[in-house]
Amino acid sequence: MNQEQQSALLRSASRFPIPTGAKFSYGTSGFRADASLLESTVFRVGILAALRSIQTRSVIGLMITASHNQVSDNGVKLADPSGGMLTQSWEPFADALANALHPHSLLQLLVDFIKKENIVLEGAPVSEVLLGRDTRPSGETLLEAAKQGITSFMGTTASNMGIVTTPQLHWMVRAKNKGIEATELNYYDQMLTSFRCLLDYIPQRDSTQNVSDKLVVDGADGVGGEKLENLKTRLGYLTVDVRNCGGGVLNEGVGADYVQKEKMAPRNFGPADAGMRCASLDGDADRLVYFYVISNSNKIDLVDGDKILSLFALFLKEQLCILNGPNDGKACNSYKASLGVVQTAYANGASTDYLKQMGLEVVMTPTGVKYLHEKAAEYDIGIYFEANGHGTVLFSDAFLSWLEIKNQELTSTSQDSDQHKAALRLLAVSRLINQAVGDALSGLFLVEAILKHMRWSIHKWNELYQDLPSRQLKVKVVDRTAVITEKAETKVVSPAGIQEAIDAETDKYPKGRCFIRPSGTEDVVRVYAEASSQEGADHLANSVVRLVEQYLGFGRS
Ligand code: 16G
Ligand code: MG
């Protein structure tokens, strides 16, 4: 690094001192903290983004959001050239940068890392970082700090995409690196064109069962609701009533996280909506759950990420079967596409059983999108979802190339055949659903298109299988990092003996299942329990909380 560059970095770093006593860690989804503590961190993540862009010679994304957390929090995370999460191998360096106490120690870290990674600064092509933020008021100042970090590497451009959903920014990064136009308008055009395409190929059947054309959406008073509101006139048959789209406090009694965890109707929803098909987005619109309000109450029946996954799996499997014809892949000129689903331990056991009964390969990974995404990318069609509503469908390049050719062939030989329609539907899904990351907006349009295709009400969809009763609790302990897990977080290896105690407790309950894991976003240990009855699940969860306290020291929250 030349002298001029070093001085530029030292100068800008001295304007962003780290708050006394603060300790930052690039967790499951980047850095998160009270917004007032984050300026130095966001500045440093700006530096990190610039460096990553220089190293990969590609566009990188920097998103300022704290997702479903309270409005006074904020956070920052990076999108890699593929549009996915920052490579895990850079996370320790991100931690070190964020915690370097003085400008000189920051510079030393950078010099050492650049050397270790063989990053060539001089003569590198122009690098670029796309910046986005959610609707949090603190986002504006933090975005400025990010710009300062990015541009303190000479020759790096910071392009502000403004207020966008997290998945929109990831989509833009991916598109830009593929040489595709990557504006917000391009994003909507691609999504809505493929949505309409799916609708065009809905089979004409005689049926009295028509799906309601009305959907009510809880926008969490965040960015997703605002974006959806602006799309309302472009949705054809679908009438969307967007509530909580910016007038109230972000994530307060609203949003996908609230709805999924509390199983209660969000603010501005109530008994008058009983039976309506409703959806809820989280604060940065990368999570989606559906629900309907139960008559005369504020309680809901939740249709969570597991059911969205099951709906997608059912539809895609059906299209693959039609495409491959009666020989199921053995016909000449067919492609035996691998279809796999990826879940975490939080997936309801009934969903996993259902997917296995469908003959699908189900794989479990630890919690966190980066793990699920990586696994799903191993399939021709990889569907991943967390129960909390974050997920998407990934298509392999090899399968998509084959599908394009197959589609051309069918266009000339058997247009209007079922096979041709199946090919067109699969291509449309691959363009509709965000290939970079889970996306509540594109997920919502895929759900809507499939329900219309199947002529299913939300109730019918919910009946695919019945969730086993479950309970989630959290425990405050002295040191949550003392909990070490394996087998996709289903077994604890440390502290010694606790797993045996959990197993002995779980064995007491019919269909009992229970696991504990340290949270990646809060200073707590989480407990998940499932059993054949709600009382059983509650009881099991509470007993395991006591075990956690016993083995790890007190402090329940
Ligand atoms: C983050 C993760 C989400 C995960 C959650 C778990 C991303 C983009 N988000 O929100 O996937 O389910 O953390 O939180 O990776 P926990 O570790 O506090 O339980
Ligand atoms: Mg989110």
Reported as a single tens digit per residue, the pLDDT across 356-411 is 999 999 999 999 999 999 999 999 999 999 999 999 999 999 999 999 999 999 99
**Which CATH number fits the domain that encloses residue 534?**
3.30.310.50
Centre of ligand 1 from the C-alpha of residue 515, in Å: 16
The CA distance from 366 to 374, in Å, is 11
Specify if 352 maps to a domain: no
Which of 104, 132, 163 finishes a domain? 163
HSE-up (13 A, CA, CB side) for residue 228: 33
The catalytic residue among 40, 67, 138, 543 is 67
Counting atoms of ligand 1 from 1, which one is nearest the CA of 520?
Answer: 17
Specify if 92 maps to a domain: yes
CB 286 within 8 A of CB 390: yes
C-beta atoms surrounding 335 within 10 Å: 17
**Number of domains present in the structure of the chain:** 2
Question: In the sheet that 525-530 helps form, which strands lie side by side, from edge to edge?
Answer: 470-475, 525-530, 513-518
Specify if 21 maps to a domain: yes
Specify if 524 maps to a domain: yes
* Binding pocket residue ranges, ligand 1, CB within 6 Å: 28-29, 67, 367-369, 386, 388, 390, 519-522, 526
List, in sequence order, the alpha helices (H) in 393-506: 397-413, 418-432, 440-454, 458-462, 498-506
Closest CA to 541 of 523, 516, 521, 504: 516
Which of 163, 197, 215 finishes a domain? 163
pLDDT of the residue at 207: 61
Q: Which amino acid is at 33?
A: A
Counting atoms of ligand 1 from 1, which one is nearest the CA of 68?
Answer: 10
pLDDT of the residue at 365: 98
Specify if 97 maps to a domain: yes
Displacement of CA 374 from its chain's centroid (Å):
13
Specify if 319 maps to a domain: no
Counting atoms of ligand 1 from 1, which one is nearest the CA of 166?
Answer: 8
pLDDT tens digits along 290-328: 999 999 999 999 999 999 999 999 999 999 999 987 654
Please give the model's pTM, rounded to 2 decimal places: 0.95
Which of 120, 143, 163 finishes a domain? 163
pLDDT tens digits along 223-256: 999 999 999 999 989 999 999 999 999 999 999 9
Probe residue for ligand 1, chosen from 521, 528, 557 as the CB with the greatest number of ligand atoms within 8 Å: 521
pLDDT of the residue at 206: 62
pLDDT tens digits along 17-69: 999 998 999 987 899 999 999 999 999 999 999 999 999 999 999 999 999 99
3-state secondary structure of 126: coil
**Which CATH number fits the domain that encloses residue 53?**
3.40.120.10
Domain that holds residue 51: 3-163
> Per-residue pLDDT averaged across 105-114, rounded?
97
Q: Six-digit token pair at 347?
A: 């997936």
CB 197 within 8 A of CB 424: yes
DSSP state of 30: B
Specify if 362 maps to a domain: no
Specify if 382 maps to a domain: no
* Location of structure tokens 């969205």: 308
Closest CA to 380 of 412, 336, 342: 336
3-state secondary structure of 22: coil
Probe residue for ligand 1, chosen from 26, 28, 68 as the CB with the greatest number of ligand atoms within 8 Å: 28
Tell me, yes or no, if 40 is annotated catalytic. Answer: no
Centre of ligand 1 from the C-alpha of residue 30, in Å: 10
Q: Is-cis flag, bond preceding 17, omega within 30? A: no
